[in-house]
Amino acid sequence: MAKKIIAVLGATGAQGGGLCRAILDDRDGFSVRALTRDLKSAKAEELARLGAEVVEADVDDEKSLERAFTGAYGAFCVTFFWAHFSPEKEMAEVAAMAKAAKAANLQHVAWSTLEDTRKWVPLDDNRMPTLQGKYKVPHFDGKGESNQYFRDAGVPTTFLLTSFYWDNFIYFGMGPKKGPDGKLAITLPMGNKKLPGIAAEDIGKCAYGVFKAGPDFTGKTIGIAGELLTGAQMAAAFTRALGREVVYNSVPPEVYRTFGFPGADDLGNMFQFKRDFEEYFCGVRDPKFSRSLNPELQSFDQWLAANKSRIPLE
Ligand SMILES: NC(=O)c1ccc[n+]([C@@H]2O[C@H](COP(=O)([O-])OP(=O)(O)OC[C@H]3O[C@@H](n4cnc5c(N)ncnc54)[C@H](OP(=O)(O)O)[C@@H]3O)[C@@H](O)[C@H]2O)c1
């Protein structure tokens, strides 16, 4: 039987890359079409070497998406907020993805989305500032608002709510840093609330579980996480993994928002949303369910054991 082709956006990145590797490792009923803007990049060539069909596509070029989706069974859709910081751009990209998915008659799309936080924190709720004029958490809200494009287009879609990547401790500058007392600390504005986290690689593996389950999950919203941990629990895990003390430095969101790196206000609001709506946010991201999609789902301890040497330490 012909294998079902999954067209994967962000194939050379974290989420899409995990999905490509999951399909290529399994080779059971599915094959990968990896979408990239640059066929000649080292990551694209590596995917081709592993057996992926690699084709050119740009989320800002609807025709290229339609070409890349044609003949596929399904697609993994993801946007790249941190490349431009614009929810409007994300929404235009998702609208183009949904149109292309419909035109290509895809039978299953997994869309990597997040909550529109304005449903919980309306713009006139002053607990956190409104950003870019009409958002509370811009990199969440645009994704949540975009869910409607797939619904309106009538595309069979699974709305995949992702979680904080533990890889942010490597790449996003969130790893342990020395405080004035000389102790290593991770700094988060979460108080004593739990933060759902996941190895970025596991998002794609869970998405593969979604495609394998097929129609059972179309039209559904599902959340995934590797573990739900407080800042103190993550600091204790760092201490165990690194063999030196790491403490948790809890700061108020209003302080986090002033940290000055690009997107600090967006992330300050995001963490505050996760803190203030912990019961909802953790409730829809069940690690047990995530493990049913991806039996290899990593715990934070496992992720740290495999990645601690990649975390930059002062
Ligand atoms: N960091 C977190 O904790 C976290 C958690 C949940 C959700 N997210 C969300 O995850 C999303 C990013 O996903 P990711 O981390 O998997 O991305 P990533 O690792 O940054 O992947 C970027 C890849 O996307 C491709 N890309 C970028 N712009 C493109 C375009 N215009 N057209 C086609 N491909 C393009 C690039 O591939 P080529 O160069 O090969 O074209 C690149 O390799 C963001 O929207 C973010 O909000 C992040």
- The string of pLDDT tens digits covering residues 212-238 is 999 999 999 999 999 999 999 999 999
State the residue for tokens 């975390």: 311
Ligand 1 center to residue 212 CA distance, Å? 23
Is 64 close to ligand 1, i.e. is its CB under 6 Å away? no
Is 14 close to ligand 1, i.e. is its CB under 6 Å away? yes
Is 238 close to ligand 1, i.e. is its CB under 6 Å away? no
Is 10 close to ligand 1, i.e. is its CB under 6 Å away? yes
* HEC profile of the chain: CCCEEEEECCCCCHHHHHHHHHHHHHCCCEEEEEEECCCCCHHHHHHHHCCCEEEECCCCCHHHHHHHHCCCCEEEECCCHHHCCCHHHHHHHHHHHHHHHHHCCCCEEEEEECCCHHHCCCCCCCCCCCECCCECCHHHHHHHHHHHHHHHHCCCEEEEECCEECCHHHHCCCCCEECCCCCEEEEECCCCCEEEEECHHHHHHHHHHHHHHHHHHCCCEEECCCEEEEHHHHHHHHHHHHCCCEEEEECCHHHHCCCCCCCHHHHHHHHHHHHHCHHHHHHCCCHHHHHHHCCCCCCHHHHHHHHHHHCCCC
Ligand 1 center to residue 105 CA distance, Å? 24
Ligand 1 center to residue 116 CA distance, Å? 19
The confidence band for 1, taking pLDDT boundaries of 50, 70 and 90, is confident
Q: Quick check: 160 and 112 in contact, CB under 8 A?
A: yes
Contacts of 98 (CB under 8 A, 6+ apart): 109, 149, 150, 152, 153, 155
Write the residue with the smallest CA distance to atom 15 of ligand 1.
14
Each residue of 91-122: pLDDT tens digit? 999 999 999 999 999 999 999 999 999 999 99
Is 46 close to ligand 1, i.e. is its CB under 6 Å away? no
Ligand 1 center to residue 70 CA distance, Å? 22
Q: How much is the pTM?
A: 0.98
Average pLDDT over residues 121-146: 98
On the question of pLDDT at 51 being above 90, the answer is yes
Ligand 1 center to residue 10 CA distance, Å? 5
Instruction: Look at residues 85, 75, 94 and name the one whose alpha carbon lies nearest to residue 4.
Output: 75
Is 168 close to ligand 1, i.e. is its CB under 6 Å away? yes
Is 56 close to ligand 1, i.e. is its CB under 6 Å away? no
Predicted pLDDT of residue 314: 75
CA angle (213, 160, 211) in 5-degree steps: 25
Average pLDDT for the chain? 97
Is 263 close to ligand 1, i.e. is its CB under 6 Å away? no
Q: Quick check: 186 and 235 in contact, CB under 8 A?
A: yes
Ligand 1 center to residue 85 CA distance, Å? 12
| Atom in ligand 1 nearest the alpha carbon of residue 10 | 24
Average pLDDT over residues 180-188: 95
Is 169 close to ligand 1, i.e. is its CB under 6 Å away? no
**Among 41, 80, 159, 168, which is best to mutate for testing ligand 1, by the most ligand atoms less than 8 A from CB?**
80
Q: How is residue 182 written in tokens?
A: 């000389």
Residue type, 118: R
Predicted pLDDT of residue 33: 98
The confidence band for 27, taking pLDDT boundaries of 50, 70 and 90, is confident
